[in-house]
């Protein structure tokens, strides 16, 4: 019996940067043989994202190791006749083909679903786009900052009223989108298992941004007065907001919505007098017209102690309050490590000491430990030999620049 769920599954990762390659990485983590195809030159831009100003400078090409792990590498000039021949042989024997190239590029390189389906009717063709497979913006290029974060409305919602829209983090939309693409691929594979049919699996950055905003956007689609919504939320609900402590840490309150829990909180704050304050006669007033005043009262109290003083008090009272963590704390969080949210690599050389895991988990399914992402074209000879090319042919193709 195969050691991993997707052992024997052949996947072509013909995609760039984060979301689509990360979906391929999840398949590789469950045992699939993933071949990463990169164009001639510097390869996937993912290789250099650890070096740009909007990411922290750490040891090595950590972003590439995050998304490129557990794959084999082939650098291929798909514009050449040799490259097309290699590509067609790969597709003919593949189970899954993943791409996020813009549709005009796919047409130029012969990478459309219709073209590749003719070579392999059982192929699962996984397409990631910025704005969807249909419509006027079908061919439009995009990134998660633009399609997921800005276009969906998330960027506008996630800010203080009257302030500049908040920038997203690198990959913040790409990584959840990669899970959606993985889910689409697995759904199509299950359909193929039952029917024998291949097909196209797809998602978009816009679709995932809209899904993330659904808790508000669905209300707009249901006819909500969004102006009234924005006005009502101009001042935070005092039980659904962050407060700063004396040591400049933030505490996030959430879902303190009943009189019993509210009383428990006020007692924990040593602020039982607020329960008798005529400004706050009931929950409706506290969470409505008096929300600014109550928030100010609580902010003044919380600012008198440090976060390390407050958190044991809230934990003992069992009220839903948590410390707003800093990213460097998550990097060494023992809870993250205990749940394999981050794991140590199987091959430490060239990789960080801990590598962030994808969030897809099943106790009955074993996962491959992280292994180093490939160097440019590292496995070219091995992959081409598996496709039936001889050493002389491989050397000739390398001489013509079709492979590197």
pLDDT of residue 350: 87
In the block, tokens 């097309």 appear at 84
Q: Which pTM was predicted?
A: 0.96
Cα 194 to Cα 216: distance, rounded to the nearest angstrom: 37
pLDDT, one tens digit per residue, over 58-85 is 988 999 999 999 999 999 999 999 999 9
CA distances, 204 to each of 57, 84, 146, 155, 325 (Å): 30, 27, 12, 17, 30
Question: What CA dihedral angle connects 350, 353, 355 and 356, to 10 degrees?
Answer: -150
pLDDT in tens, 222-233: 999 999 999 999
Q: What is the pLDDT of residue 160?
A: 86
**Interval 104-158: pLDDT, tens:** 999 999 999 999 999 999 999 999 999 999 999 999 999 999 999 999 999 999 9
- Give the model confidence (pLDDT) of 312-371 as tens digits: 999 999 999 999 999 999 999 999 999 999 999 988 888 999 999 999 999 999 999 999
Q: What percent of the chain is modeled with pLDDT above 70?
A: 100
The Cα-based distances of 177 to 172, 234, 304 in angstroms read: 9, 30, 42
Instruction: Count the neighbouring beta carbons within 10 Å of the beta carbon of residue 104.
Output: 10
Per-residue pLDDT at 404: 87
Catalogue all structural domains in the chain, each as residue range(s) with its CATH number.
Answer: 10-213+340-399 (3.40.50.10540), 242-326 (3.30.1540.10)
In angstroms, the Cα distances linking 182 to 97, 222, 296 are: 12, 30, 46
The torsion angles phi and psi of 18, rounded to 5 degrees, stand at: -110, -60
**pLDDT tens track for 165-205:** 999 999 999 999 999 999 999 999 999 999 999 999 999 99
Closest CA to 403 of 374, 372, 375, 381: 381
Segment 13-58, tens digit of pLDDT: 999 999 999 999 999 999 999 999 999 999 999 999 999 999 999 9
- Span 84-94, mean pLDDT? 98
pLDDT at 1 over 80: no
Residue 13: strand pairing partners = 36, 98
Yes or no: say if 356 and 66 are a contact pair by the CB < 8 Å rule: yes
């Amino acid at each position: 019996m195969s050691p991993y769920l997707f052992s024997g599954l052949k996947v072509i990762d013909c995609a760039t940067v984060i979301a689509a390659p990360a979906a391929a990485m999840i398949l590789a983590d469950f045992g699939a043989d993933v071949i990463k195809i990169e164009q001639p030159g510097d390869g996937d831009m993912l290789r250099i994202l650890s070096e740009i100003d909007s990411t922290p400078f750490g040891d090595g090409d950590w972003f590439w190791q995050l998304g490129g792990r557990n794959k084999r590498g082939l650098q291929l000039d798909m514009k050449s006749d040799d490259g097309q021949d290699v590509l067609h042989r790969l597709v003919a024997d593949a189970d899954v083909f993943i791409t996020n190239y813009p549709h005009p590029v796919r047409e130029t390189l012969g990478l459309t679903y219709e073209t590749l389906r003719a070579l392999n009717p059982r192929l699962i063709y996984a397409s990631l786009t910025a704005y969807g497979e249909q419509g006027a913006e079908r061919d439009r290029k995009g990134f998660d900052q633009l399609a997921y974060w800005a276009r969906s409305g998330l960027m506008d919602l996630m800010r203080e009223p009257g302030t500049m829209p908040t920038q997203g983090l690198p990959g913040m939309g790409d990584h959840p989108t990669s899970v959606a693409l993985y889910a689409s691929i697995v759904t199509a594979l299950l359909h193929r298992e039952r029917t024998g049919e291949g097909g196209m699996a797809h998602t978009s950055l816009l679709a995932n941004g809209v899904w993330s905003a659904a808790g508000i956007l669905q209300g707009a689609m249901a006819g909500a007065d969004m102006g009234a919504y924005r006005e009502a939320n101009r001042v935070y609900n005092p039980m659904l907001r962050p407060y700063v402590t004396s040591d400049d840490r933030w505490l996030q309150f959430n879902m303190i919505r009943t009189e019993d829990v509210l009383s428990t909180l006020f007692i924990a704050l040593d602020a039982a007098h607020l329960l008798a304050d005529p400004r706050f006669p009931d929950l409706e007033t506290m969470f409505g017209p008096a929300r600014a005043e109550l928030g100010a009262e609580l902010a003044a109290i919380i600012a008198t102690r440090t976060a390390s003083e407050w958190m044991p008090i809230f934990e003992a009272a069992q009220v839903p309050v948590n410390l707003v963590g800093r990213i460097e704390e998550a990097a060494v969080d023992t809870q993250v490590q205990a749940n394999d949210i981050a794991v140590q690599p199987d091959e430490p050389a060239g990789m960080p000491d801990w590598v962030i895991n994808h969030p897809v988990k099943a106790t009955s399914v074993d996962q491959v430990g992280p292994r180093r992402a490939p160097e440019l074209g590292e496995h070219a000879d091995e992959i081409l030999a598996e496709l039936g090319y001889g050493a002389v042919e491989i050397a000739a193709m390398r001489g013509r620049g079709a492979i590197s």
